[in-house]
Structure 1
Amino acid sequence: MAARLLAAPPATPDPAPFDGGAPFATDTEEIVAGWAKLLPYSDVRQLAHAIDAGQAVTVEYVAASGNRTVRTLSHLVLDPPYLEAWCHLRKAERVFTLSRIHSVMSVMPG
């Protein structure tokens, strides 16, 4: 995944015609970006790819209480404004508010 991101052209894709000019390569990117407004484009792209490809991803998540945690998530299901996933920290299915995801990192194969 990291190699593909590094190999991608430095420019973002052309703007989509119906979204006010924001650049998105996929519908999933557009949906994630619409709800996770604090995420930079590279993180939106990474999260959208993980959702579409069925891959695990690690996120920094800020709970309603303000507590920050790093969570590894798998079995991702996009249900805006939420992301349903298996949380490896809690060992349970959880629902995450997309707007509370503050960063996205790849899961290293282990």
Structure 2
Amino acid sequence: MKLTAADNPTVAAATVDSADSQAGLIEFKKLVMRDDNHGIVDRNLEFTTIQARDEVVRLYGATGYDYYTSFALFGRPLARVTAITSGVITLHCAGEAYQVSLPSGFEFWFEK
């Protein structure tokens, strides 16, 4: 089942400190980026920043769409996102008692 923009929930605006944003971007690059435009989530991940973890969760949502105009991470628009068959992926953020489980891994490419 493919989703449309109308299926997106309304999300409250988050206030993010620029130092937190920079730390989240650094961690995101370190954990999932293969090069400047290509990333992959194919294993369980342990995060230290909530922002990096939340961006990975949000990015997974793009696997249900055929268009990506509503998805931009750290200001970069997506070109393509593909689910991969890697099994359940768990995402945990240090200091939290719970973890997020994604049904599968995914691969993504930013626009150049």
Q: Which has the higher contact order (CA 8 A, sep 6+)?
A: 2
TM-score for the superposition, normalised by structure 2? 0.29
